[in-house]
Amino acid sequence: MLGGLAQSNACACASESSLISLNGVSKIYHTDAGRFVALDNVNLQIQRGEFVAIVGKSGSGKTTLINLITGIDRPTKGEVCVDQVAVHRLKESEKALWRGVTIGVVFQFFQLLPTLTVIENVMLPMCLCNLYSGSERLERAYQLLRLVQMEHQAHKLPSFLSGGEQQRVAIARALANDPPIVATDEPTGNLDSRTAASIMELFEDLVRNGKTLLMVTHDPDLAARAQRTIALADGRIIQA
C-alpha cells in the first residue's frame, strides 16, 4: 500500500540525493487577526543521516517547518518531498500511514497514550501500520525499550513514569517502525538538564546508527550538538 502511495505521489522536484527536500514552500495562516506568514518561500535540502537542529525565536516558523516535513500541516505553496514522496499531495489518512513508517515523531509533552502500558504504546505504531507479526512486534518493542533503557518499566502505565522516562518511551515509540527520519519538537523542553542530556545522547546514538534526525529547539547548547543548524527568522531561513 505504501509502495503505491510512493509511486502515485512520486516527487518530481526532489533531488536524487536528498532525503528531505522543500521547494519554494510558504505557509500562510488566515486568522481573525489577519494574514500571518509563518514560512516564506523556503528552499531546503536535508541528506540522509544528518542531525539537523532547527533554531529560531518564538514565532520564527520552526514548528511550522517541522510540521510541514512530518505532514502534520500542509503548505500553502510549494512542494515538500520526503524520501521521494510528495507529502503535500497526500490525503490526511494516507499521510498518517506514510508518517507511521517514514517519520517517528517525538513531542515536547511526550504524548503517550495514558491507557496503554509502556510496551503497548511502543507496539501501537506497528499495529496501526500493520508491520511485523504479532510475536515480532512484542520482541521488537522490548528491543526498543532496551535501547532506551526502559525495558524494566514495560508493563507500567505512563502516569507511573517520570518525564524523562516518558520521553524515552516516546523515542522508542518513534522508532517502532524503523523509520529513516526522527522528527522532534523541543524534546527536552519539559525535562531537567540531566535527563535532557541523556536524551540527547540517545539521539546521537540514533544518528550514529544511520537515522536522520530533525530537532526543533531554542536551546543553543543543544543545537550545538547537531551536525547542522538551520536558523529561521520571520519565516525565512537565515542560516542553512
Partner 1 sequence: MNIDARWIKVWRDLWSNKTRSLLVVLSIAVGVGAVGMIYNASQLIQRDLYGQFRQGNPAHVYLYLSPFPKEVANVVRGMREIRDAQVRRVVRAEIGKSGGGFVNLNLHVLPSTSEVEVGRFFVEQGAFPPKVREILLERQSARLLGYRIGDSVPIKLADGREYSLRFSGIVHDLNEIPFAILGDATAYVSVDTLRWMGELPAYNRLELVLELQGERVSKETALEAAEEVKKRVLEPSGFRLYSVRVPGVGSEPGDHWAHNQIRGFILILQIMSVMATLLSGGLIVNTISSILVQQTKQIGILRAIGASRKQIVSMYLLCVLIFAAAGLALAIPLGWAGSWWLASFAARFLNFDLTQVSLSFEVILIQAGIAILMPLGVAIFPILRGARISVYEAIYQHGLSRGRVSRLEQLLSRIRLADPPLLLSIRNTFRRKARLVFTLSTLTLAGAMFIASFSTHSSLVAQIHDAERYVAFDARLPLPQGTSKIAAEREALRVEGVSYAEGWAISEGVIVRSDSSESQGIEIVGLPANSKTIRPKLVSGRWLSGDPNSRQVVVNEDLLVEEPEIRVGEPLRVKVGNRTHTFVVVGVVSKHIFGPRIYMDYTSLSRLTGRQNEVDEIRVLAEEGKLSSVTVQDSLAEKLEERFRNAGISRANAITRSHFLGEFAGVFNIILLILLIMAGLLAIVGGLGLSGALGINIMERMREIGVLRAVGAANRALVKIILAESLVVSLVSWVMGAITSAVSSPVLAAVVVYAVLETQMNFRYSVVGLFLWFGVILMIGALSSLLPARRAASLQVREVLEYE
Binding site for partner 1 (CB under 8 A): 67, 70-73, 92-97, 99-101, 104-105, 107, 111-117, 120-121, 123-125, 127-129, 134, 137-138, 155, 157, 159-160, 173-174, 176-177
Q: How far is the CB of 172 from partner 1 (least distance, A)?
A: 12
CA 186 to chain centre: 11
Nearer to partner 1, 17 or 30 (CB): 30
DSSP label at residue 151: G
For residues 49 and 204, give the distance between their C-alpha atoms in angstroms, rounded to a whole number.
11
- Nearer residue to partner 1 within complex by CB, 157 or 233: 157
Residues 74, 45: contact at Cβ < 8 Å?
Answer: no
Min dist. Cβ of residue 26 to partner 1 (A): 16
Q: How far apart are CA 86 and CA 94, in angstroms?
A: 12
Shortest distance in whole angstroms from residue 98 CB to partner 1: 8
Please state the closest distance from residue 61 (CB atom) to partner 1, in A.
Answer: 14
Select 4 or 114, whichever has its Cβ closest to partner 1. Answer: 114
Our measurement of the distance from residue 140's CA atom to the centroid of its chain's CA atoms, rounded to an integer in Å, reads 20
Q: Which is nearer to partner 1, 146 or 155 (CB)?
A: 155
Beta bridge partners of 52: 214, 228
Sign of the C-alpha dihedral, residues 196, 206, 43, 83? negative
Q: Fill in the amino acid letter for 23.
A: N
Cell of 30: 488566515
Nearer to partner 1, 118 or 223 (CB): 118
Instruction: Give the C-alpha separation, 124 to 114, whole Å.
Output: 13
CB of 92: closest distance to partner 1 in angstroms? 7
